[in-house]
Structure 1
C-alpha cells in the first residue's frame, strides 16, 4: 500500500496580502431545509432550497511592528485558503465581512485576534 500525501499547512490571503494565521474554521450551509408533512410514513417528504451561508472563524496573531490588516473595517474582502505546497485546490471566500472581533492574551502564547466573518460566496479554484 502506497503512502498518500494530505493537505498540510494553509496560507490565508486577504485581498492579496498574506495573513499570519493560527487557525481557520470555515463552515458552509447549503440553505436546504427539510419539508415535514403529516403523512402516514412519519418521515420528511422532501426539501426546500434556501439561502447559502458561509461563516469563517479565524484566529490570527497580532503583529508588533508590521502593518496589520484592518479586520474591523473589512467589508467585501476576499479570503483565499491555499495549500502551502502550491498543489491542491484553492478555496476563495468572496465579499467577506467582519461580524465579531476579540483579542486573546495568554502567558505561554503570542497575542491573538479571534475573528468571526461571513461570506456571500465560496468558490473552489
Structure 2
C-alpha cells in the first residue's frame, strides 16, 4: 500500500500580510431549509434552496507591536494554504469581523479569538 500525504500546517494571510494563527475553523452553511407541509404521511416533502453563509473562527496570538486592528477588518481576503507543495489554496473573499475577544491563561501566551463572515469562498 502506498503512503498517503495529508495536508499539514496552514499559513493564513489577511490582505497579503501573514498572521500568526493558532487555530482556524471555517463553517459553511448551505442555506437549505426543510419545507414542512401538511400531508397524510406526516413528514416533510423536501427542501428550499437558500443563501450560503461562510463563518470563520480564528485564534491568533497577540503580538507586542504591529497587531492588526481586528475590529476594523472589512472587505479582507483570507487565504489559507497548506504548507506542502501541490496543495490547493482556499480564499475567503470580502471578509468582515463580527466579534473579537481576548483570552489570557496561566500556561499559554495571550490569544485573541476573532469571528468573521465571508461573502464567498474560492478554491485556487
CA distance in 2, matches of 1:11, 1:86: 13
Shift of 1:46: 1.5
1:84 aligns with 2:83: yes
CA distance in 1, matches of 2:91, 2:85: 15
What are the residue-to-residue correspondences of 1:44-123 with 2, within 5 Å? 44-65=44-65, 67-123=66-122
Root-mean-square deviation (Å): 1.1
Q: Secondary structure at the match of 1:109?
A: coil
Shift of 1:39: 2.1
Deviations 1:22-72 (A, max 9, x none): 00000001101111112233332111111110101100001113x112211
TM-score of the two chains, using structure 2 as the length reference: 0.94
TM-score of the two chains, using structure 1 as the length reference: 0.93
**Structure 1 stretches (4+) deviating beyond 4 angstroms?**
none
Long gaps (5+) in structure 1: none
* Pairs aligned (count): 124
Shift of 1:86: 3.6
Q: Secondary structure at the match of 1:72?
A: helix
Shift of 1:14: 0.3
Long gaps (5+) in structure 2: none
